[in-house]
Amino acid sequence: MTPETPLEIDPTDVSSLLARPGERTFRLIDCREESEWQICHLPDAQLVPLSRFGELVPQVFPNTQEHVIIYCHHGMRSLRAAQFLRHHGFAHAQSMSGGIDAWSDMVDPATPRY
């Protein structure tokens, strides 16, 4: 990752990163609410609801150098979350454009849409 890490990342690129063999070089964060998480979520994602993001950041994100990819339903909340992290020194925070809805459309049609 470079300091010029784009703010948004395409679902197909996230899928490629998830498919890479070896140790994962990023953390996948779902910023939707618990009720949405129960409908569907991506494998190995961690739930950090946007409604609690500010209070949870110090505990959940101790390393500002970490590559974090955040997603939500359509990509708006995750964009706000990524911008929030960037404002707090996380140069490698990214939002998955289009959210889990785009994931279902572009990567895995078996992912439930709602």
Report pLDDT digits (tens) over 29-84. Answer: 999 999 999 999 998 999 999 999 989 999 999 999 999 999 999 999 999 999 99
**31 carries an active-site annotation:** no
Judge contact between 106 and 11, C-beta under 8 A. Answer: yes
Q: Between residues 10 and 5, which one has the greater pLDDT?
A: 10
Given 29, 69, 72, 96, which residue is catalytic? 72
Q: Between residues 4 and 2, which one has the greater pLDDT?
A: 4
Q: Is the dihedral of CA 103, 106, 110, 114 positive or negative?
A: positive
* Backbone dihedral angles phi then psi of residue 17, each to the nearest 5 degrees: -65, -40
pLDDT, position 34? 97
Q: E strand or H helix at 70, and its extent?
A: strand 68-71
What predicted TM-score, i.e. pTM, was given to this entire model?
Answer: 0.94
